[in-house]
Amino acid sequence: MFFKFLSLQIKTATRSPMWQKNLALNLVIGFFLLLFALYLLMLGLFIHKIMNEMLPHQDHLRVFNGILLYYFLGDLLIRFLMQSLPVLTIESFLHLPVRKGTIIRYMIGRTFFDVLNFLPLFILIPVTFTIVIPHEGGMRASLWISTLIILVLSNNLLVIYLKRLLGVKPAVVGVLGLLFISLIVLDRTNLISLSGISSKGFDYIMHHPVLALLPVCWLIFTYRLQYQFLSKHLYPDEMQKKKAEEIHDRAESRFLKSMGLTGSIISLEFKLYLRNKRTKTILYMAPVFLLYGLIFYPQPIYHKQDGFLLFVGVFMTGGMMLNYANYAFGYESGYFDGLLTKNIDFNRYIHVKYYISVLICTVFYILTIPYLFYGYKILLINTAMYLYNIGVLSFVLLYFATFNKKRIDLSRGGAFNYQGIGAMNWLALLPAFILPLLIYLPFRMSGHPYMGIAFTGFLGILGLFFAKFFIRLITKSFYQRKYIMAGSFREK
C-alpha cells in the first residue's frame, strides 16, 4: 500500500501541468540544490582543517558538539518556516477500504523523504570520519552519528506535528514559541549556556551508550504524538486549517471613492495584496528590502564600490515595485476574463497600475532616507535610483508584464514559490539591475562618477515627461497580447 501511495504521489507531481511547464526551472532548482549539497560536503570534509587553523588549541569534537544544539534549534525554526505540510489528498482514499492506520503511516512516512532531512547528512557523515573517529574510535562514532540522525528525524516529526497543531490549537504553539525565544534569550544573556549543555550532553551519550536510548525514546514519542493527532483528525475539513475569514465590510475610504473607477481599481489592488497568501508573504518580506542597506552601508569598503551602491539603491527603493509591476497582470489571472468583458478603459487601467508603482517606490524611497546617516552620497544615489525606478524601470516592467503567460495561484505562499514565473519575468529583471550600471560606467571611466549618478536620475525625470507615450505603448501591447494572456491564465 505504501508504495502504491508513493507512486500515486509521484504521478501527481510529474503529471501536474506545473511540473511539465516548469521542467527547466525544476532542473535549475535541482542544480542549485546539488550545488548546495556539494558545498555542505566540502564543509564537512574540510571543517577539521578550518578548525585547525582557527582554533588550534581546542578539542574539535567538543567545539562541534557545542554547536549541535544550536543547530537543532535553528533547524526547528527553519523547518517551521519552510517545510511544507505533505498533502495527500486523503478524500480520495477515506471512502475506500483502506485502513486508516495505513493512510496515517504513509502520511508520516513520506515526510522523511524531505530534502531537509538529507542535507545535514552531507556535513555530518564526513565529520564522523574526520573528527569523531580519530577522537573516539569507530564504536562511539557510530553511536554519535546515529544519535544525530535520530534527532534530525525527530525534528522533522516535531515540526510537522507543530504545524498541524497550529491549525487546531495555535495557543499551544505560541507558548512553545515563547519558550523557544526565552531559551535563546537566556543563552544570549549568559544565564544558561546552550553550548555547554550541548557539548556535555553529546559527550555523555558517547561515553554512556545506555543514554542513547533517550533520543530513541524522543523519536518514538514524536512519532506517537503525530500518529495520535492524525488518527483523531483524519477528516478532510480538519486537516486543512481553513478558518473562515471574516471580512468586516468597512466603508471604502472617501478619498478613494471620490476618484471613481481609479479609486476602485486601487482599492482592488490593495485587497489583492492583503487577502492572498502569496502576496502576503511578499508584504512580510518588504522590510527585508529596506534592511538591505544595513548589511552593506556600515562597511566602509562598499562605499568605494559605487556600482554596488547603485544596485542596493535600485533594490531598496524598487524591490517591492519590481514584484508588483512584474506580475501586474499575472496576479489577476484568476479574474482576467471578467476584466476583459467589462467596459474598462485599459489605457486608464494601466495608468492606475503605473501610479501604484510610483506610490510604492515613493514610500520605500522615503523609508530609505534615514540612511543619510551613512553619508550624503548614499542619499544621492538612492534619490537617483528612485527617479530611475519611477521614470524608466516601472515602464519597462509593466511592458514586460503584458508578456505574463502563466496563471499565478495566489493561494499558496510566496517564499521560494516559483509557480507562475516565466522566462520573461526573469528577463525583466535585467534592466532593473544592469541598465543603471551600464549608464553609469562610461561616466565613471571618464572620471565623472557623480555625473553618471546624476544622469541616471535625469533619465528617470525624462521618462516621467514621456509617461503618456510609454503607457500608450504598454496599452497597445496589452491589446495585442490579451488573447494569449487570457488563454494561458485559463489553464490551471
Partner 1 sequence: MIEIRNLTKIYGTQTVLNIPELKIGKGESFGLVGNNGAGKTTMFRCVLDLIRPNTGTVLSMNNNVANTETWKHYTGSYLDDGFLIDFLTPEEYFRFVADVYQLSAGDLEIFYHDFEDFFNNEVLGKRKLIRNLSSGNRQKIGIAAALMPKPEILVLDEPFNSLDPTTQIRLKTILKSWQKEKEITMLISSHDLNHIKEVCNRIVILHEGIMVQDLVTNPDTLRVLEEYFAVKG
DSSP string, 219-266: HHHHHHHHHHHHHH--SHHHHS---------PPPPHHHHTTTHHHHHH
Binding site for partner 1 (CB under 8 A): 244-249, 252, 260-261, 263-264, 268, 271-272, 275-276, 334-338, 340-344, 410, 483, 486-487, 489-490
Rounded to whole angstroms, the Cα distance separating 206 from 204 reads: 5
CB nearer to partner 1: pick between 171 and 244: 244
Q: Are 330 and 397 in contact (CB under 8 A)?
A: no
* CB-based burial label for 119 (10 Å; 0-12, 13-18, 19+): middle
CB nearer to partner 1: pick between 208 and 271: 271
Least spacing, CB of residue 11 vs partner 1, in Å: 24
Least spacing, CB of residue 267 vs partner 1, in Å: 8
Least spacing, CB of residue 331 vs partner 1, in Å: 11
CB nearer to partner 1: pick between 97 and 260: 260
Q: What are phi and psi of 412, to 5 degrees?
A: -105, 150
Least spacing, CB of residue 343 vs partner 1, in Å: 4
Least spacing, CB of residue 486 vs partner 1, in Å: 6
CB nearer to partner 1: pick between 105 and 482: 482
For residue 56 the three cell numbers come to 588550534
CB nearer to partner 1: pick between 53 and 245: 245
Rounded to whole angstroms, the Cα distance separating 388 from 462 reads: 9
Residue located via cell numbers 489553464: 491
CB nearer to partner 1: pick between 50 and 340: 340
CB nearer to partner 1: pick between 188 and 248: 248
Least spacing, CB of residue 261 vs partner 1, in Å: 5
Residue located via cell numbers 565529520: 127
For residue 367 the three cell numbers come to 523609508
Rounded to whole angstroms, the Cα distance separating 112 from 104 reads: 13
CB nearer to partner 1: pick between 114 and 409: 409
* CB-based burial label for 7 (10 Å; 0-12, 13-18, 19+): exposed
CB nearer to partner 1: pick between 21 and 280: 280
Rounded to whole angstroms, the Cα distance separating 458 from 452 reads: 10
Least spacing, CB of residue 412 vs partner 1, in Å: 14
Residue located via cell numbers 567545539: 63
Q: DSSP 3-state assignment of 422? A: coil
Q: What angle do CA 379, 380, 385 make, to 5 degrees?
A: 95
CB neighbour list of residue 467: distance below 8 Å, 6 or more residues apart: 354, 395
Instruction: Report the greatest alpha carbon distance in the chain.
Output: 79
Least spacing, CB of residue 234 vs partner 1, in Å: 23
Least spacing, CB of residue 305 vs partner 1, in Å: 43
Q: What are phi and psi of 428, to 5 degrees?
A: -65, -20
Q: DSSP 3-state assignment of 55? A: coil
CB nearer to partner 1: pick between 24 and 244: 244
CB nearer to partner 1: pick between 234 and 272: 272
Least spacing, CB of residue 250 vs partner 1, in Å: 10
CB nearer to partner 1: pick between 195 and 419: 419
Rg (CA), the chain: 27
HSE-CB for 262 with a 13 A CA cutoff:
12
**Phi and psi based region of residue 250 (left: phi greater than 0; alpha: psi -120 to 50; beta: remaining):** beta
For residue 405, what is the enclosing H or E element?
none
Least spacing, CB of residue 300 vs partner 1, in Å: 47
Q: Are 224 and 158 in contact (CB under 8 A)?
A: no
Least spacing, CB of residue 288 vs partner 1, in Å: 24
Q: Are 30 and 111 in contact (CB under 8 A)?
A: no
For residue 6, what is the enclosing H or E element?
helix 2-15
CB neighbour list of residue 395: distance below 8 Å, 6 or more residues apart: 354, 463, 467, 470, 471, 474
CB nearer to partner 1: pick between 53 and 246: 246
Least spacing, CB of residue 327 vs partner 1, in Å: 15
